Amino acid sequence: MSLGPTTGREFVLTLSCPDRSGLVHAVTGFLVRHSGNIQESQQFDDRLKDRFFMRVHFDVTDPAMTLEDLKSGFAPVAEAYRISWQLYEASTPTRTLIMVSKFGHCLNDLLFRCRTGALNIEVPAIVSNHRDFEPLAESYGIPFHHVPVTRETKPDAEARLLELVDELDIDLVVLARYMQILSNDLCKQLEGRAINIHHSFLPSFKGARPYVQAHERGVKLVGATAHYVTPDLDEGPIIEQDVVRVSHSQGPDSLVALGRDVEAQVLARAVEWHSQSRIMVNDNRTVVFR
pLDDT digits (tens, 9 = 90+) for 165-182: 999 999 999 999 999 999
Above 80 in pLDDT, residue 188?
yes
Q: What is the mean pLDDT of the chain?
A: 93
pLDDT confidence of 209, banded at 50, 70, 90? confident
Q: How many CA atoms lie within 13 A of 8 on its CB side?
A: 15
pLDDT band (50, 70, 90) for residue 202: low
pLDDT band for position 203 (50/70/90)? low
Distance of alpha carbon 9 from alpha carbon 36, whole angstroms: 10
Residue 197 to residue 14: CA distance in whole angstroms? 25
Q: What amino acid positions are annotated as catalytic residues?
A: 234
Predicted local distance difference test score (pLDDT) of residue 6: 42
- Are 84 and 243 in contact by the 8 Å Cβ rule? The answer is no
- Where is average pLDDT lowest: 54-68, 73-87, 189-203, 258-272? 189-203
pLDDT for residue 258: 93
The confidence score (pLDDT) of residue 1 equals 34
Question: What is the Cα–Cα distance from 179 to 99, expressed in whole angstroms?
Answer: 9
Residue 233 DSSP label? T
- Residue 127: what pLDDT? 98
Residue 10: strand pairing partners: 59
Minimum mean pLDDT range among 32-46, 87-101, 245-259: 245-259
Given this model, what pLDDT does residue 2 score?
35
pTM listed for this prediction: 0.93
